[in-house]
Amino acid sequence: MTTLSAEDVGAVLLSLKVAAVATLCGLPLAVLCAEALARGRFWGRTLLEATVTLPLVLPPVATGYGLLILFGRQGLIGRLLAQVGIVFAFHWTGAALAAAVMAFPLMVRPIRLSIEAIDREVSEVALTLGASGPRRFFSITVPLASPGIAAGALLGFAKALGEFGATITFVAAIPGETLTLPAAIYNATQSPGREGRALALCAVAAAIAVAAVLLSDLVGRAAGRLVQGPR
């Protein structure tokens, strides 16, 4: 039986950290974006929807290269951020950024569907009672859309955990810094005689994915019961 090395364990832990940070940072923006797409009527709505969907249809390598151009040390945005000590390229924070970008469309979709399923009359009644827009959003929309928010968060986490193409293009696969679980699996498959290590890493990835799916189902059901209230 193949045992995982310290480098492999580090790759698993780094992947979990990257996925968690990507989800936590991307979820608030995903909720706001889903609200805008579900209820908003503004110029540029189609462009916003296309932008949100773009990471799903572009090759991940192209997305990673785009991030490198924008957030690299000499990139349009990265050069400015580097002056204040914020670095993404070839750093684990860049892996989190790449994972967040790739997972973002998958977070927005279920949240948007949950918001669209909310009866508009509920919000309109609150409006007639004098509730402001932010108050209606946080006291009505967010609680009622909580099943979709929970599903989007866990789906985004699972996607971020398995992200490879954009990540390796943007931050490479530096052991101890940017070597995530998918990159470790890829490296193992490219090395003769390391098939056992690749299988062990795949088993770990599968176990984490199954746990995420089961947790998503449990959280979604719990949120649904909370919204429906006692019967």
Instruction: Say what the pLDDT of residue 73 is.
Output: 85
- Asked if residues 24 and 192 have their Cβ atoms less than 8 Å apart, the reply is no
Q: Which domain holds residue 131?
A: 6-228
Determine the pLDDT at residue 42.
78
- Residue 125 is assigned to a structural domain of this protein: yes
CA torsion, points 44, 45, 47, 49, in degrees to nearest 10?
Answer: 170
pLDDT higher than threshold 80 for residue 16: yes
Within a 13 Å sphere around the CA of 181, how many CA atoms are in the beta-carbon half? 28
How far apart CA 131 and CA 71 sit, in angstroms, is 40
- 83-101: b or e for each residue (b if 16 or more CB lie within 10 Å)? eeeeebbbbbbbbbbbbbb
pLDDT tens, position by position, 143-185: 888 888 988 998 899 899 989 999 999 998 888 889 999 999 9
Q: What is the pLDDT of residue 122?
A: 67
Is the distance from CB of 149 to CB of 31 less than 8 angstroms?
A: yes
229 pLDDT exceeds 80? Answer: no
134: number of Cβ within 10 Å: 8
pLDDT tens per residue across span 50-78:
999 999 899 999 999 999 999 988 888 98
pLDDT at 127: 65
Q: CB within 8 A of 11, min separation 6: which ones?
A: 175, 179, 180, 181, 183, 184, 201
Instruction: Note whether 12 and 181 are within 8 A (CB).
Output: yes
22 against 226, higher pLDDT? 22
Instruction: Kindly state whether residue 24 falls inside one of the protein's structural domains.
Output: yes
Neighbours of 196 (CB within 10 A): 12
The total number of structural domains in the chain stands at: 1
Integer angstrom CA distances of residue 219 from 66, 123, 147, 152, 216: 34, 25, 8, 11, 5
- Per-residue pLDDT band at 106 (split at 50, 70, 90): very high
Q: Is the pLDDT of residue 136 over 60?
A: yes
Averaged confidence pLDDT in the chain: 86
Scan for tokens 């009622």, then name that residue.
144
* 189 in any annotated domain: yes
Residue 1 lies in a domain: no
8 Å CB contact between 57 and 67: no
Whichever domain contains 61, its CATH number is 1.10.3720.10
Residue 76 maps to a domain:
yes
**CA–CA separation, 208 vs 111, rounded Å?**
23
